[in-house]
Structure 1
């Protein structure tokens, strides 16, 4: 059995560079801020969307989905894998889109070999193969946020945790499919060509969101599209191309920060501050501590005057 899978963020920059590292070419992810077909159309070539939502724990599986219908036969004609492990559903969702767009998209050698290897497997075995893929797992984990205090590979969700889940939607064989590894089969939402996808996916997403209370706003939607720099070059739009290149640079910087462990840096910084205080002469350190306590007391007193509860400082 392979090692564990760490949690990754639902972030366009994370997903874009993750698939690039897997060998996928000329594809990126864009976060959508509205549920409008026009926003999807403006992105050019659209391969699918990935939806993140709070998973309703304790909900029993039904013989029929709440929306759409199970298409058991479709699992033989498209790529669909059961989710067999925790924390991998984001990568599984993006792979579900890309492997069903092989031909439209250059998915690279690693994913193409994986697709061919698992082609005749049932969904459960495909899920196991994905879970045990060292290449995909290592790329996935390389985009996890560094934390010296939490071992995500050993963490098990409890009933008190908020659990979030990724699922993919894409048009395959002129049908709109929901690909959720926690379901027994792909869910069909009816006929849908690639060109109709922007119009037909929005009502499906709206119906899913309407299952939640109006106060629930923790949703995230990412579109899987052709690299937007390609269209900018084709149109000769230098301003758009520059904006896309700047966005890529920002994504690279953010991904580098995610992977970096700052504990050592903070420790050295604190040691430097303490050393500087001690070098100021005898009693400087004690004065520094007392000054800090006095400032904390003052903040606590100011909060009490404003009617804000706070802890007493001894």
Structure 2
């Protein structure tokens, strides 16, 4: 394989522009702030949801899922790929929704050819094919935060690490499926027409969250929906259209910042500050240093009191 996969953020702007670079048309992601079916319904045409949660690294795989049931035959009728490489689960989750909505969604030439090529493979080989796709990997990596200190090939997670994982939920063939590449098969949560998806998926998500301690709040939920500008144009809602266009511009700006390495800039800025302080004399310089040390110590103590938090990784 030519290169590794870097981590990407669970962010609506990242996921929206990622799928657009892969050739998907008229689809976007929206972050959900509540677990309410009405919030999902208000988004219009809904294709699925992507759920980010803390993965229990010490947990052993079971022959029976904690919720729902394995549908081992379903992989013959829908696109399900095993996750075979670290850090790819964000893109794998969004593809789990989109490749199962081909026909409802214009997934573009490249992804359609990928699906046709890998679709007849067993899940493990589909996962290997996805992991070795130069196009998908390069687009995925283009949304990673720029950092000169992080290698794109990272060590395997241990039980002491905070590890986060993406999975997908969508309705396929009138069934609600949980598509998690770390599981041996799609997980069925029962009958579910597309129109019933908001009402059926929320209880499943609530049960999953309920398995965590009440103090665990690090979850994120993104809805995969039709481009909201389409509905705004259809309704003639200029205010909503302007709001969506403004959001797109913000996403473009944020994604540009993610790709930029600010280390050189910060270094030059620090040189200028130090030069200015030295020009004020040794007393001013020493006071500045001591004040900075005191502030850093206080921030560290505050973090320890709050319990700290690990970096979000896939």
TM-score, normalised via structure 1 length: 0.91
Distance 1:268 1:104, change over 3 A: same
For residue 27 of structure 1, what is the aligned residue in structure 2?
27
In 2: Cα distance, 1:268 partner to 1:17 partner: 32
For residue 152 of structure 2, what is the aligned residue in structure 1?
152
Tell me by how many angstroms 1:109 deviates.
1.0
Residue by residue over 1:208-257, the C-alpha shift from the partner in whole angstroms, topping out at 9 and shown as x without a partner, is: 11111111111110000000000000000000000001111111111111
Residue by residue over 1:60-81, the C-alpha shift from the partner in whole angstroms, topping out at 9 and shown as x without a partner, is: 1111111111111110000000
For residue 4 of structure 1, what is the aligned residue in structure 2?
4
Number of corresponding residues: 301
SS in structure 1 of the partner of residue 146 of structure 2: coil
For residue 269 of structure 1, what is the aligned residue in structure 2?
269
- The higher radius of gyration belongs to 1
For residue 209 of structure 2, what is the aligned residue in structure 1?
209
Residue by residue over 1:34-55, the C-alpha shift from the partner in whole angstroms, topping out at 9 and shown as x without a partner, is: 1111000000000000001111
Where in structure 1 are there 5+ consecutive unaligned residues? 304-308, 310-314
In 2: Cα distance, 1:112 partner to 1:193 partner: 24
In 2: Cα distance, 1:266 partner to 1:190 partner: 53
TM-score, normalised via structure 2 length: 0.91
SS in structure 1 of the partner of residue 73 of structure 2: helix
Contact 1:2 1:131 in 2 (8 A): no
For residue 312 of structure 1, what is the aligned residue in structure 2?
none
In 2: Cα distance, 1:269 partner to 1:200 partner: 53
Where in structure 2 are there 5+ consecutive unaligned residues? 300-304, 306-314
Alignment of 1:28-43 (within 5 A): 28-43=28-43
Tell me by how many angstroms 1:58 deviates.
1.6
In 1: Cα distance, 2:271 partner to 2:236 partner: 53
Structure 1 stretches of at least 4 aligned residues deviating more than 6 Å after TM superposition: 297-303
CA RMSD across the alignment: 2.2
In 1: Cα distance, 2:107 partner to 2:9 partner: 22
